[in-house]
Amino acid sequence: MKRILTGLACLFAVVAFSTTTTLAQPTNLTVVANATTARLDTLRLGITYSLRWDTTGSPANTTYRIEFSSAGLNGPWTPILVRNTATLRSEPLIHTDGAVGNIAPGAGSRLGRGISRLTIRLTAQTENGYLRLVNTTDTSRTAVSNRFTVLAAPPALTVDSTLTGNITAGRTVTLSRGKIYGLDGYVFVDSAAVLRIEPGTIVVGDTVGQNSALCVNRGGILFAQGTRQLPIVFTSRAISGQRRAGDWGGLLIAGRARINTTSGGGGSVAFEGGIGDDSRVRGWYGGSDDNDSSGVLEYVRVEFGGIAAFPNEELNGITLGGVGRRTVIRWVQSSFANDDGIEWFGGNVDAKYLISQNAIDDDFDTDFGFTGRVQFGLIVRGSQIADQSTSQAFESDNDLGGSFNLPLTSPIFSNCTVIGPLSDTAQAGGSGVNQWNASFGSAAQTRRNSRQSIVNSLFIGWPRAGFELQGDRTGNAAVADSLLVRNNTWYGVKGAALVTPGGTATNPIPTALNSAWLLDATRGNRVINQSGLVDLYDEVGSAFGRDVVITNTDGSPSTQRNFDPRPLASASFLTRASFERPATSSVRIDDSFFTRVPYQGAFDVTASGITNRWDLGWATYDPVNFPYRAGGPTSRVGDDKVPTTTSLNIVTFPNPATIQATVRYNLPSSDRVTIRVHDALGNLVAVLANGVQQSEGIYEFRMDVSNLSQGLYMVQVATSNGTAAQKFSVTR
């Protein structure tokens, strides 16, 4: 029954229209990928598409029912369904051709002319698919598309055990590393139930094209505590090389902390995507317990999540609704999400060491009164991966109406490195080589009366603006220091430093809110633009990188983006962070939660060029090709570029080297570290660190070998608990 209902609720997208009746009908309807205009005739399961059509000959406010046939022009025709957000029940999708000039209605709207963003997930294979518009006033007037094809689902990984239905109160279910677990539809962890996942365990979604997700209900506990060597992975069931954004629904956690859907909090809301039940239990979040705990997420990856379960209702990679402050979230990566990388709906959970890579929409999205604190985040965007609704790294609303409902959305993000789509400010928006998707917006957008603060962060390569403060209420809050944008550095901003849309004649944006306000010396912000490639002046190793082939632990090759987010040892932002609260502000940037580091961005570097790479080992930047198998590795630890993490260990590459080599070493516990380089005769060549105190982690540094003679050398890392060494060669 689940599969039948899925097929009815989440049907198919369309291709170019050839009208059978021209009167009052749209023409030239096409399905496109993201912001492109090229018609797609072959579609794939699990991908979100955008619809375009010409309404020149269609009277304004004409309404249409949208129907699908998988069996040809003679049908049968099935209406595409949407979810009524008030009743939570499915109903036929009715589109209204709105007034002239309203050509971009935005996400979630079904009113507009020219473009309608209907995010429809394909759920079945067909070689004979059609779609039609039916005029609801005169059903004899229809427009029918040409034939289109929906490809079969990609081959699936074999699962060893299947999770289905609910983990009910009083039960504890443990998932072990030796198996791959598959989800059969939506799986819930009920209140007073526990799902315990061992390090190195792999959980995959349902077969591509089916709706599946893992949802921890209010009162349920997810204990997912991986390690750097053995992270826990939630991913697509498709085989290596075939995984795509939206292959499954992702991870949802529902807590009992306050949300602001009613003033003062205490309300509850169902998650998008139709997973909330009529009894307001499963798939609902929010309450009055800010000290609530939903468990532990440590060293966890969530990949390819975010199905469009209903038109314009996508799940995210990771969705956190009303999650309380006693929940632990550290070292978590969301990759290739079909909507937002991580979205917080209310709650007050804190987090450290977060990664969002190649989300389609926004990376860190906050709504409904989220008040948590986040430090150390890495965001990496693909130049062509963006959404019709406009993609930012940060997006924040108090609520959809921009009300003063409490708690106000007021999180604090500190020490984020945000790598955007724009590698050269001379580039134009488009879908060609050396272009960026025109649906990218600003690096950060705060709107609808949000009080979100972003401090001590680094932004690289963004087209619209460095920062966007939208609406008069948000603008007034910014001028009053009720939200802070301080001590940040932007490199390579194609548009303005600051944009402030959304004011009206009666409620204007404050005149003081302009680029001069953002760049006032007291705020510590900088925008640095030069001509040419942004990587030539952004003071990090290589923000935009290149693709390289690496060797997996099983000996197989795979391609990985070789970007390098480490600061240069001479970077000007290494001493520009501040955690001092302005006298005019109540924003808690001086809170003891924040580690008071001197640098902006997510990574530090010592005078010797050594960086603690908190992302290495457990994270991966090539999940499409990762060779998952039961009991197999879930990290790159132990391959030719990442040292093992169970002991003091070291790797050097390339080896042999000619100009520069990278040295990575694992420090299993806090210690004082000395790094020396010797030649083949044992003569000391260099001392790169001498008794430097370092905490546990993987470290790396660049070693200049251009002045060394050709021959054999050894780099040695010495601690009080032992010594590790690696031979390397220098060739000319």
Average pLDDT over every residue of 532-558: 74
Burial class (CB in 10 A: 0-12, 13-18, 19+), 79: middle
Give me the pLDDT at residue 15, please.
Answer: 39
Confidence category of residue 194, pLDDT binned at 50, 70, 90: very high
Nearest alpha carbon to residue 106 among 335, 447, 406: 447
Does position 724 have pLDDT exceeding 90, yes or no?
yes
Confidence category of residue 366, pLDDT binned at 50, 70, 90: very high
Domain CATH number, residue 44:
2.60.40
Does position 98 have pLDDT exceeding 70, yes or no?
no
Q: Is residue 34 left, alpha or beta, with left meaning phi > 0 and alpha meaning psi from -120 to 50?
A: left
Q: Is residue 45 left, alpha or beta, with left meaning phi > 0 and alpha meaning psi from -120 to 50?
A: beta
- E strand segments, 147-244: 148-150, 161-167, 172-175, 180-189, 194-197, 202-204, 213-216, 221-225, 232-235
* Residue at 25 is within a domain: yes
Confidence category of residue 431, pLDDT binned at 50, 70, 90: confident
Confidence category of residue 555, pLDDT binned at 50, 70, 90: low
Q: Is residue 384 left, alpha or beta, with left meaning phi > 0 and alpha meaning psi from -120 to 50?
A: alpha
Give me the pLDDT at residue 111, please.
Answer: 40
The string of pLDDT tens digits covering residues 127-185 is 998 888 888 888 888 878 778 898 888 999 999 999 999 999 999 999 999 999 999 99
* Residue at 68 is within a domain: yes
Buried b (16+ CB within 10 A) or exposed e, 343-375: bbbbbbbbbbbbbbbbbbbbbbbbbbbbbbbbb
* Residue at 607 is within a domain: no
State the Cα–Cα distance between residues 193 and 170, nearest whole angstrom.
5
What lies within 8 Å, CB to CB, of 417 at 6+ separation is 377, 378, 379, 457, 458, 460, 540, 565, 601, 602, 603
**25 within 8 A of 19, measured Cβ to Cβ:** yes
Nearest alpha carbon to residue 659 among 728, 563, 569, 567: 728
Domain count, the chain: 2
The string of pLDDT tens digits covering residues 124-140 is 789 998 888 888 888 88
State the Cα–Cα distance between residues 575 and 487, nearest whole angstrom.
10
* Percent of the chain residues past pLDDT 70, beyond the cut: 88
Least confident of 255-269, 371-385, 600-614: 255-269
As given in the structure block, the two tokens for residue 131 are: 């779609």
Q: What is the pTM of this model?
A: 0.91
How far is C-alpha 662 from the chain's CA centre?
28
The string of pLDDT tens digits covering residues 10-35 is 433 333 334 444 445 667 777 776 55
Domain CATH number, residue 666:
2.60.40.2550
Give me the pLDDT at residue 109, please.
Answer: 38
Radius of gyration of the chain (CA): 26
Report the amino acid identity of residue 18.
S
State the Cα–Cα distance between residues 512 and 534, nearest whole angstrom.
30
Position with higher pLDDT, 643 vs 110? 643
Give me the pLDDT at residue 384, please.
Answer: 86
How far is the CA of 43 from the CAs of 47, 77, 239, 360, 439, in angstroms? 8, 19, 19, 18, 21
* Residue at 616 is within a domain: no
Confidence category of residue 706, pLDDT binned at 50, 70, 90: very high
The string of pLDDT tens digits covering residues 56-80 is 667 777 888 888 888 999 989 988 8
**548 within 8 A of 560, measured Cβ to Cβ:** yes
Give me the pLDDT at residue 49, please.
Answer: 73
Domain end among 150, 175, 209: 150
**577 within 8 A of 613, measured Cβ to Cβ:** no
Confidence category of residue 519, pLDDT binned at 50, 70, 90: very high
Longest Cα pair distance anywhere in the chain, in angstroms? Answer: 91
The string of pLDDT tens digits covering residues 230-265 is 999 999 999 999 998 989 999 999 999 999 998 788
Average pLDDT over every residue of 400-418: 97
For residue 363, report the phi and psi dihedrals to the nearest 5 degrees: -90, -55
Report the amino acid identity of residue 675.
I
Domain end among 122, 150, 178: 150
* Percent of the chain residues past pLDDT 90, beyond the cut: 68
How far is the CA of 605 from the CAs of 200, 569, 612, 695, in angstroms? 30, 6, 8, 14
- Average pLDDT of every residue of the chain: 88
Give me the pLDDT at residue 566, please.
Answer: 94
* Residue at 86 is within a domain: yes
Nearest alpha carbon to residue 408 among 465, 351, 358, 476: 476
> What are 18's strand-pairing partners?
144
Domain end among 109, 135, 150: 150
Report the amino acid identity of residue 488.
N
Burial class (CB in 10 A: 0-12, 13-18, 19+), 505: exposed
Write out the residue range of the structural domain in which residue 107 sits. 2-150
Position with higher pLDDT, 58 vs 370? 370
How far is the CA of 70 from the CAs of 20, 48, 74, 132, 211, in angstroms? 19, 18, 10, 12, 19
Give me the pLDDT at residue 549, please.
Answer: 57
Average pLDDT over every residue of 556-584: 86
The string of pLDDT tens digits covering residues 438-449 is 889 999 999 999
* Residue at 316 is within a domain: no
Report the amino acid identity of residue 132.
R
Give me the pLDDT at residue 4, please.
Answer: 33
For residue 661, report the phi and psi dihedrals to the nearest 5 degrees: -130, 155
* Residue at 449 is within a domain: no
The string of pLDDT tens digits covering residues 108-122 is 333 445 545 556 666
State the Cα–Cα distance between residues 595 and 614, nearest whole angstrom.
14
Does position 102 have pLDDT exceeding 80, yes or no?
no
**190 within 8 A of 214, measured Cβ to Cβ:** no
Q: Is the dihedral of CA 394, 367, 499, 111 positive or negative?
A: positive
Nearest alpha carbon to residue 4 among 85, 81, 96: 81
* Residue at 9 is within a domain: yes
Least confident of 306-320, 381-395, 613-627: 306-320
Give me the pLDDT at residue 117, please.
Answer: 53
Tell me if residue 31 falls in helix, strand or coil. Answer: strand
**297 within 8 A of 320, measured Cβ to Cβ:** no
As given in the structure block, the two tokens for residue 447 are: 């709107």
Does position 101 have pLDDT exceeding 60, yes or no?
no
Buried b (16+ CB within 10 A) or exposed e, 488-497: bbbbbbbbbb
Give me the pLDDT at residue 321, please.
Answer: 98
Give me the pLDDT at residue 209, please.
Answer: 79
